[in-house]
Structure 1
Amino acid sequence: MLTVLILVPLIGAAIIGFLPVPIIPKISRWITFAFTCISFLWTLVLASLFNTNIVTQQFSEFLPWIDTLGLNYHLGIDGLSLPLLVLNGLLTCIAVYSSDTSINRPRFYYSLLLLLNVGVTGAFLAQDLLLFFLFYELELIPLYLLIAIWGGEKRGYAATKFLIYTAFSGILILASFLGMVWLSGASSFALEGLNTSALPLATQILLLVGLLIGFGIKFPLVPFHTWLPDAHVEASTPISVLLAGVLLKVGTYGMLRFGMNLLPSAWTYLAPWLATWAVVSVLYGSSCAIAQTDMKKMVAYSSIGHMGYILLAAAAATPLSLLGTVLQMISHGLISALLFLLVGVVYKKTGTRDLDVLHGLFNPERGMPLIGTLLVTGVMASAGIPGMVGFISEFIVFRGSFPVFPVQTLVSMIGTGLTAVYFLILMNRAFFGRLSEKVTNLPRVFWSDRIPAFLLAVIIVIFGIQPAWLIRWTEPTTTAMISTQNVVANVAELGNRH
């Protein structure tokens, strides 16, 4: 049942890329959209069959692969990976639908989008360390090409920077994986049954630091963040949606699944430092966002700040805070995708994202009043306004982290206020006032441009009003992850000492 999620987009990529007959761009787009919709609907089927009372991996698939390497094809899902799989399916559908109908080299473009989906899906499903690494690296090349070929003016620089950072990230992750397996004496890379508790604490810390830096580059966390703003600014709108909405979550997922879950003693020891690192990322990302005049770069820096909340909650390692990490991943994915979609519409219709140029887009006759209204929804959700999914996710993060790290939590809450500041700056400068003379005669905004953003806005409000629909899938798994590793009491005790 899980292999279907990998095979469907893979078959779609093969058909579009290698079918020996001409395919017009519009047909390529709709074929790709059909395959992504099938994958997304299948994740919903899996969600409907998922038993929330079982905290172990479900729908497991196992097939021996390369015995000499200890590599097996082992897939499974639980409450940590299931919401991310659904998010990946949804945002991939939106990215394909939002792609330019007149894009150059459409068959190559859509094949890469489907391969990107394969890599991310496989990473969330893999129950083997080496298999996870293979899928983790698989998504690197498609994303590099999608930025380098269809990006902006400085796309070559941004794509190369992304490639170098992510390649270094992969080296650190692979080295840590090899260390865990070889030093523990395991016969394979299987996640289940891997016992690292007998390793010396110093060794565990060294391995965890490698994972933290490797996955911290992917988040990204300060100071490994510099590739992200450049990649977002140069990437096309659909690629920015996937980058912020899904690809960053591979890093947070890996940190929880392989860092905290496999090296709990080292995690306990480093937890106070991780909480402080989270505070730095939150404040730095939010402060940099205030200083931006490019709308897209402002949203990119806001992602750095909001991803810091995930590290804070993971460092606290309470059942409530770990639940908050998953909710924050989902809420950030939905909200950032909405913001990048709307910024993309503004750029498409005005030809600029410069806040020094844009004014008065709320003009009901010649502006973009509905786009502005949807952007207000995204801004309110990102700022943590009650009734939006951003509020409940951040509230749970802060509520779960405060008993362990009260100082770091209170300082991180400043980031919520800064979020309101820089997004109010964006709205005030771009949408209020008189319509700028430099962006007159704007093209009409069609419903095809509005539908994806409207859909995301509805989901953001629904989960904000009824978060239990999301929590029920995740809470049993996150609670079990904490209790089985006995991280809570140890981290709490260490936090009290600090």
Structure 2
Amino acid sequence: MLSALIWVPIITAAIMAFWPGNITPKVTRQLTLIVASGVFILSLILASQFHTESASQQFVEIIPWIDVLGLSYHLGVDGLSLPLLVLNALLTCIAIVSTDEAIQRPRFYYALLLVLNACVAGAFLAQDLLLFFVFYEIELIPLYLLIAIWGGKKRGYAATKFLIYTAISGILILAAFFGLFFLSDASTFAYESLRHHTLPLATQFLLLGAILVGFAIKIPLVPFHTWLPDAHVEASTPISVLLAGVLLKLGTYGLLRFGLGLFPEAWQILAPSLATWAVVSVLYGSLNAIAQTDMKKMVAYSSVGHMGYILLAIAAATPLSLLASVIQMTSHGLISGLLFLLVGVVYKKTGTRDIEVLRGLLNPERGLPVVGSLMVLGVMASAGLPGMVGFISEFLVFRGSYPVFPIQTLLSLVGTGLTSVYFLLLVNRVFFGRLSEVVENLPQVQWKERAPAIALAMLIVMLGLQPNWIVRWTETTTTTMTLTNQQLTANTQTVLD
């Protein structure tokens, strides 16, 4: 079942890209949506059959691959990866539906979307460090092409900058994986076997440092964040949805799985510094968002701030904060996806994203009232208002982190207030007041343009009212992970002593 999540999209993409005959754009789009919907349904079936009381990997698949390298095709899913796996499948469907039907080179475009979906799923499912790296690196290719070919005016610059940053990220992560493999005298790159290694603290700090910087670039955290606003501004709306909603989570997932999971003792020592780093990212991202006049760039900088909450939760490493980190990843994926969709609709109908130009779009007769209403809901969710998934995820982050890092948690709370400030500025300037003469006589928003945003808005409210639908998948895994890390830390200290 896990292999189907990876190989069905890849095989379909290969057929579409290399089919010798003509395939109409309509058929290409329908086939892609059918396959992506099938993957989403399969992920829901996995979730329904997932044993929430078990913390071990489930639906495991192991096939020997390259024995001389200790590399195996080893897949599995647990409470850390399952919510992200479902999120990836959902947002891929959203991206396909929100793609312009008149897009150029549709066969190549939709094939790249399917490959991107498959590689992200493979990274979340991989239980072998080298296998994770393979998927982690391959996903750069379709994302680079999707920005470079279908992006905005400066798409070449943005795509190249993204590629350089993330290539450096991959080099650091691979170096850390190989260092761990050779220095621990392991015979395999299997995650569980390497997790029980014993290395001197100095070596752990060196390897963990490479992992921290590598995944910090992907997340991204300050000061490695500069590629993200450019990539978002130049990427098309569907690609921005996937970039913010899923691809950034490869970084936070990597920190949780391979940073904290492989080096719990070194992580514990560095945790105060990591919590401070999280505060810097939260405040810097929020303050930069306030200064933006481009709606898309404002939402992009908000992502920098909100990803800092996840680092704070992982740094605290309590059962509740680790649970909160996964919930915040899922919450941010849904909320950022909604915001980028709505910004895309506004830009398509008005021809601008400048908040100094736009005004009065909530006008019920000549504006975009439904889009405006959904935007108000989205910014309320991002600001953490009760009744929406953003509230429960941020509340869990702060509640789980406060006992360990009270000062850093209180400073991060300021970021929540700043979120309200910059999104209030956006909504007040763009959607309230008299309709700007520059954007009068707007084209009508079609139902198919609203449907993806409405679906995400419904999920944001439903999961805000019933967060246990996500919590129950993850709680056992994060609690067990905390206990295991404590035991590994104690055992390592005993050996080193």
Task: Tell me if both proteins adopt one fold, taking TM over 0.5 as the criterion.
Answer: yes
Residue matched to 2:495: none
Residue matched to 2:444: 444
Residue matched to 1:365: 365
Structure 1 residue matching 2:55: 3-state secondary structure: coil
Q: How far apart are the structure 2 equivalents of 1:332 and 1:195?
A: 29
Residue matched to 1:466: 466
Q: How far apart are the structure 2 equivalents of 1:475 and 1:485?
A: 16
Q: Structure 1 residue 326: deviation in Å? A: 0.3
Map 1:248-263 → 2, pairs under 5 A:
248-263=248-263
Q: Give the counterpart letter for 1:114 in structure 2.
A: L
Residue matched to 1:428: 428
Q: Structure 1 residue 196: deviation in Å? A: 5.5
Structure 2 residue matching 1:435: 3-state secondary structure: coil
Q: Structure 1 residue 489: deviation in Å? A: 9.8
Structure 1 residues 393-428: Cα deviation after superposition (integer angstroms, max 9, x where no partner): 000000000000000000000000000000000001
Structure 1 residues 43-68: Cα deviation after superposition (integer angstroms, max 9, x where no partner): 00111111011110000000000011
Q: How far apart are the structure 2 equivalents of 1:281 and 1:487?
A: 31
8 Å contact kept, 2:359–2:430: yes
Q: Structure 1 residue 19: deviation in Å? A: 1.4
Q: How far apart are the structure 2 equivalents of 1:376 and 1:167?
A: 37
Structure 1 residues 184-216: Cα deviation after superposition (integer angstroms, max 9, x where no partner): 000011112114642110110110010010000
Q: Give the counterpart letter for 1:317 in structure 2.
A: A
8 Å contact kept, 1:212–1:255: yes
- In the alignment, does 2:164 pair up with 1:194? no
Q: How far apart are the structure 2 equivalents of 1:109 and 1:196?
A: 43
Structure 1 residues 353-378: Cα deviation after superposition (integer angstroms, max 9, x where no partner): 00111011011111000100000110
- In the alignment, does 2:97 pair up with 1:115? no
Q: How far apart are the structure 1 equivalents of 2:432 and 2:480?
A: 49
Structure 1 residue matching 2:360: 3-state secondary structure: coil
Residue matched to 1:226: 226
8 Å contact kept, 1:70–1:189: yes
Q: Give the counterpart letter for 1:91 in structure 2.
A: L
Q: How far apart are the structure 2 equivalents of 1:487 and 1:355?
A: 53
Q: Give the counterpart letter for 2:156 in structure 1.
A: G
Q: Which runs of 4+ in 1 moved over 6 A?
A: 487-490
CA RMSD of superposed structures (Å):
1.1
Map 1:7-406 → 2, pairs under 5 A:
7-195=7-195, 197-406=197-406
Name the stretch that deviates more: 277-286 or 354-363. 354-363
Structure 1 residues 326-355: Cα deviation after superposition (integer angstroms, max 9, x where no partner): 000000000000000000000000010001
Q: How far apart are the structure 2 equivalents of 1:404 and 1:177?
A: 29
Q: Give the counterpart letter for 2:187 in structure 1.
A: S
Structure 2 stretches of 5 or more lacking a match? 491-497
Q: How far apart are the structure 1 equivalents of 2:343 and 2:281?
A: 24
Q: Cα distance 1:299–1:395, how it changes in 2: closer, same or farther (>3 A)?
A: same
Question: How many residues were matched structurally?
Answer: 490
Q: Give the counterpart letter for 2:171 in structure 1.
A: I
Structure 1 residues 373-396: Cα deviation after superposition (integer angstroms, max 9, x where no partner): 000110000000000000000000
Percent identity, please.
71
Q: How far apart are the structure 2 equivalents of 1:405 and 1:123?
A: 31
Structure 1 residues 24-82: Cα deviation after superposition (integer angstroms, max 9, x where no partner): 11211111001100101000011111101111000000000001111100000000000
8 Å contact kept, 2:88–2:246: yes
Q: Structure 1 residue 12: deviation in Å? A: 1.4
Q: Cα distance 1:466–1:443, how it changes in 2: closer, same or farther (>3 A)?
A: same
Q: How far apart are the structure 2 equivalents of 1:407 and 1:457?
A: 33
Q: How far apart are the structure 2 equivalents of 1:465 and 1:195?
A: 37
Name the stretch that deviates more: 18-27 or 346-355. 18-27
Q: Structure 1 residue 242: deviation in Å? A: 0.1
Q: How far apart are the structure 2 equivalents of 1:487 and 1:325?
A: 21
Q: How far apart are the structure 2 equivalents of 1:472 and 1:117?
A: 25
- What TM-score, normalized by structure 1, do the two folds share? 0.97
8 Å contact kept, 1:5–1:121: yes
Q: How far apart are the structure 2 equivalents of 1:401 and 1:2?
A: 33
Residue matched to 1:2: 2
Structure 1 residue matching 2:191: 3-state secondary structure: coil
Q: Structure 1 residue 488: deviation in Å? A: 12
Q: How far apart are the structure 1 equivalents of 2:416 and 2:51?
A: 35
Q: How far apart are the structure 2 equivalents of 1:32 and 1:352?
A: 30
Q: How far apart are the structure 1 equivalents of 2:221 and 2:262?
A: 21
Residue matched to 1:496: none
8 Å contact kept, 1:184–1:196: no
Structure 1 residue matching 2:357: 3-state secondary structure: coil
Q: Structure 1 residue 458: deviation in Å? A: 0.4
8 Å contact kept, 1:334–1:456: yes
